[in-house]
Structure 1
Amino acid sequence: MQESAATGSFWSRREAQASLGKDNGLKPFTTKVFYAAAQGVTAGTAFGAFQMAYYPDRFAYAQKGTVLSGPVRSLNYIKHAVFRPAMIFSAVTVTYAAAESFLSEIKGTTSKDPWNSAFAGAAAGMVLGGFLTRRFDIATTSAIGTGLIMGLIDFNGPNIICDPDTKQARCFPAKVSTVFEESEELKNLKEKYPAFKQN
């Protein structure tokens, strides 16, 4: 009974925060998985298409190393060049979205949590390493690295790329003078080049 009350308070708080526009990007599980799968399929298809365009002539080799007649242009080649990356990318993105949503609902958090991203990134890295290599040691190191990266990205947010406060201060200054004021650099340049002093 106490668990159901806690679950109800979690969902009620999430709905209240979402109505105020403070849901911090939290979406229902089905919506997150659907968007993650769509993004994964799109990225995997694009990657496979670029790979197929870059290596268009895939020759088939016999067991003794002799080249068979003509390049492989069948559905088998398209399956390996396009469908396989799309499947791998979608599996990784769906794993990350499902793990993050599962952890957030278990912990009852209504805001972004770097620990959720770290553990979800570890699960996605394990799937990625397992798909590509099928070796447990490489999948484990891939899980650790991906988990660290995703946790740090979620912890730092946009500050990993730029300082939002400084950028906003540069784009929108606190005061704007009505009369044009020359900067010190411009004054020095005009002193250095007197011919352009009246410009």
Structure 2
Amino acid sequence: MESVQAGILPANEELTHELIYSEAIADAMISIAAKFSSQLPVDEIKLGHIYYEDSDEASRSWRLPEKRQYIDFNWNQERRNQTKRIDVSIRCRDFLCGLMLGRRSKNRLCITLRYLEGNPHNHPLKGFVMPIALIISESFADAYGIRQVNISRPDKKLIERYASFGYSLNAADKARVKRNNSPRAKLLTKLL
């Protein structure tokens, strides 16, 4: 009897995650509409899981601009490797505008945004992929009852932009900045 229950629990956990995923996506769409309805075609934004076709498109066409050729990242492989993953594709008007991959911590202490990439070509959400991804991450935190969202290893050029959304350096990095050193920026944090 115990082995049967052990086999059922992961399926129940996966079902629970999918229900929370749906709730978080719905809440994110409400927040996106409230915040950006005057700037974006919010009724045409679609959020969903990352599928192979999405990762293939990102690898094939997003890496063509010279400034992106150094990126050696496989969305499909990373998505499969993540446990407790939060994978979201951001679409608008049939354009794949962005991909994000996050996870919740084992003890449900935080949601961590691990990877975020926006389509470098023109699309309807140009310049808004990051704030939309942060809204999504915060919606997942809310759906799981978590009060902290982290950004793992952000691009150092984007620290000020993340800070404008309420994310801050950890104590060690704040001390480095105080001593006029560059932050290592391994983690940015926001308490909700």
* Same-fold status (TM-score > 0.5): no
TM-score normalized with structure 2 length: 0.26
User: Which structure's residues are more often helix, by fraction?
Assistant: 1
Determine which structure has the larger strand proportion and give its number.
Answer: 2
| TM-score normalised over the length of structure 1 | 0.26
